[in-house]
Chains A and B, each alone.
Chain A
Amino acid sequence: MSDTATPELTIERDLFSKFDEIIAVRENLLSSGVTDPFSLVMEKVLSPTRAICNGRDTILLGTYNYMGMTFDPDVIQAGKDALDQFGAGTTGSRVLNGTYQGHRECEQALREFYAMDHAMVFSTGYQANLGIISTIAGKDDYIILDIDSHASIWDGCALGNAQVVPFKHNDIEAMEKRLKRVPEGAGKLVILEGVYSMLGDVAPLKEMVRVAKEHGAMVLVDEAHSMGFIGEHGRGVAEAQGVIDDVDFIIGTFSKSVGTVGGFCVSNHPKFEIMRLVCRPYVFTASLPPSVVATAATSIRKLMHGADKRAHLWENSRRLHGGLTALGFTLGTSEPQSAIVAVIMPDLERGAGMWEALLHEGLYVNLARPPATPANMTLLRCSLCAEHSAEQVETILGMFERAGKAVGII
Chain B
Amino acid sequence: MNREEIDRTILSIIEPFNKKGVQITDSTTFAGDLEFDSLTVMDFVAEIEDSFDIIISMNQQAEIENYGQLVDAVNKLQGE
Contacts and interface: CB of A to CB of B under 8 A. Distances in A.
Contact of A166 (B37, B42, B53): B42
Contact of B49 (A157, A164, A181, A182): A181
B59 interface: yes
B19 to A, nearest CB: 15
Interface in A144-158: 147, 157
Nearest to B60: A163
Contact of A147 (B42, B49, B53, B60): B42
Interface string B25-65: 00000000000011100100010011001110111100000
Given A147-B42, A174-B46, A376-B39, A142 B57 contact: yes
A166 B46 CA distance: 9
23 contacts: A142-B55, A142-B57, A147-B42, A163-B57, A163-B58, A163-B60, A164-B57, A164-B59, A165-B58, A166-B42, A167-B46, A168-B42, A168-B46, A174-B46, A177-B49, A177-B50, A178-B49, A181-B49, A181-B54, A181-B55, A183-B80, A371-B38, A375-B39
A142 B59 CA distance: 11
Given A165-B58, A166-B58, A181 B53 contact: yes
Contacts of A164: 57-59
Interface residues of A, number: 18
B40 to A, nearest CB: 11
Contacts of A157: 58
Q: What are the 9 A-B residue pairs with the smallest beta carbon separation, nearest first?
A: A163-B57, A164-B58, A181-B55, A165-B57, A165-B55, A163-B59, A164-B57, A147-B42, A164-B59
Contacts of A182: 55
Contacts of B54: 181
B interface SS class:
helix
Interface in A340-391: 371, 375-376
Contacts of B46: 167-168, 174
B73 to A, nearest CB: 14
Nearest to B45: A166
A154 B59 CA distance: 12
B15 to A, nearest CB: 21
Nearest to A167: B46
A215 to B, nearest CB: 13
B62 to A, nearest CB: 10
Nearest to A169: B42
Given A163-B58, A166-B42, A168-B46, 16 more contacts: A142-B55, A142-B57, A163-B57, A164-B59, A165-B57, A166-B58, A177-B49, A177-B50, A178-B49, A178-B55, A181-B53, A181-B54, A181-B55, A182-B55, A183-B80, A371-B38
Nearest to A371: B38
Interface string A155-198: 00100000111111000001001100111000000000000000
A158 to B, nearest CB: 9
A177 B38 CA distance: 21
Looking at A142, A165, A168, A183, the one whose CB has the most chain B CB atoms below 10 A away is A165
Contacts of A183: 80
Interface in A35-51: none
A370 B49 CA distance: 26
A26 B55 CA distance: 37
Contacts of B49: 177-178, 181
Contacts of A168: 42, 46
A164 B42 CA distance: 13
A27 to B, nearest CB: 22
